[in-house]
Amino acid sequence: MHNKLPNRWIIAASAVAIQICCGAIYSWSVFVKPLAASEPWSLVQISATFEIALAFIGIGAFVGGLWQDHVGPRMVLGVAGVIYGLGFILSSFAVAQHSLAGLYVGYGALTGTAIGMAYICPVAVIAKWFPDLRGLMIGATVMGYGAGAVLMGPVAARLIIHSGVPATFQIFGVAYLLVIVGAAQLHVDPPAHWAPQGWVPRTTVSKMATRVHYTVAQAIRSWKFWLLWLLLVLNTSAGIMVISQASPLAQQQVGMSVIEAGAVVGVISIFNGMGRLAWAWISDFIGRAQVFFALFAIQVCVFFALPRLHDRFLFEAAVCAIALCYGGGFSVLPIFAADFFGTRNIGGIYGWICMATWLVAAIPSPMLIAHVRETTGTYESALTAIGFVMVLSLPLPILAGRAAVRAAAVQSASAQALESA
């Protein structure tokens, strides 16, 4: 039976390819200036396209997560790939016809929904295929999402110069459709209760993973679900406030030029991706709750120090540390959820967490810090306030860690009782 199973490493490689395609949405900034130069739209109108996409990512993650738990990842990913490709193609026609509404529908609603659907499925699949390397492999998978803009941004910039925005959208639409739909064919769930041959949980962290599979409804009724959601909301809000304002913050704080500040944004993207892999891997050794405590503790120090950093090197080190923590939260949280609630319905469970986090944290936070900057003329008060929020957040990972220990103790006692019987 095991000989007939697909190669899980090939599934992992296809998952990374899908995540890179999804992460390319963050190369939107490359399109902003050419659109502003060629279309009769204001910068605010153009920028709203990306905000719409962000809103629909949460919705897509919710829908895709629940759907894939019922029909499997292949169909959901296939549909997501088609929607993603069509979103770019529709954006191409919209720009060619100077239709802002068409761009909102294509790049905003369609691609945003497709990204959410396509993002959640590989995470759920990898959690099931790699119980022995859960942190490392989920981290490697979502690192592809963080790296998407770094890899595809320069490609988009060159294509825009040579072919224009509409043609670039068309090329990307066809390419992403083919890659995601093709990679989707490799995505299948392992048999129920499957584990690598000869593997049994031996480390303290792996033993804490539950062997009970919660339904989505059962998970939502658990206080641990809302604790995990709060951990992700806090980490996401803190990180995205700085990441979204990195360029103007660098210009104001350390006097960087627009080009120099743009380079910092690129470096932040790299550290965002690195954080997704590094922290997930570390969590396999020290625990998920311990990693979140480290993320919060690091950000306490950085946010209190950041308003006073006027040296370029120190400033860049600080914002890169925040990006590392931001990426780490997105990779460790789904692992934490799988440890608490099992992997059978992790798509729907994590989809709920993603949607709620995106609506509460990822969308309002950039607007909030921009508003503070406009009204006060500085970022200092906002950064200091985030530091205090992170201080107040430190007990939450401790609470989550204690819950994990208690659950592991109950599970161990139940197993021993069964063996005795």
Per-residue pLDDT, 415? 52
Q: Confidence band (pLDDT; 50, 70, 90) for 371?
A: confident
Task: Say if residue 230 is in the same domain as residue 176.
Answer: no
Task: Say if residue 216 is in the same domain as residue 102.
Answer: no
* Both tokens assigned to 272: 């965002």
- Estimate to the nearest angstrom the gap between the alpha carbon of 387 and the chain centroid: 22
Q: Is residue 145 part of a domain?
A: yes
Which of 184, 217, 236 terminates a domain? The answer is 184
Q: Is the separation of the CB atoms in 19 and 145 below 8 Å?
A: yes
Task: Say if residue 220 is in the same domain as residue 164.
Answer: no
Task: Say if residue 27 is in the same domain as residue 114.
Answer: yes
Task: Say if residue 234 is in the same domain as residue 357.
Answer: yes
> Once rounded to an integer, what is the mean pLDDT over residues 103-126?
94
Q: Is residue 29 part of a domain?
A: yes
pLDDT digits 0-9 by tens, 132-186: 888 899 999 999 887 887 788 888 888 988 999 999 999 999 999 999 999 999 9
The domain that holds 91 is classified in CATH as: 1.20.1250.20
Q: Is residue 193 part of a domain?
A: no
* Both tokens assigned to 407: 């659950």
**79-83, 96-100, 122-126, 204-208: least confidently modelled range:** 204-208
Q: Is the pLDDT of residue 58 over 80?
A: yes
Task: Say if residue 167 is in the same domain as residue 240.
Answer: no
Q: Is the separation of the CB atoms in 403 and 282 below 8 Å?
A: no
> Once rounded to an integer, what is the mean pLDDT over residues 100-107?
95
Per-residue pLDDT, 1? 42
Q: Is residue 190 part of a domain?
A: no
pLDDT digits 0-9 by tens, 201-229: 776 776 667 778 899 999 999 999 999 99
Task: Say if residue 50 is in the same domain as residue 89.
Answer: yes
- The residue range of the domain holding 315 is 204-420
Q: Is residue 189 part of a domain?
A: no
Phi/psi-derived region of residue 196, left when phi > 0, alpha when psi is between -120 and 50, beta in every other case: beta
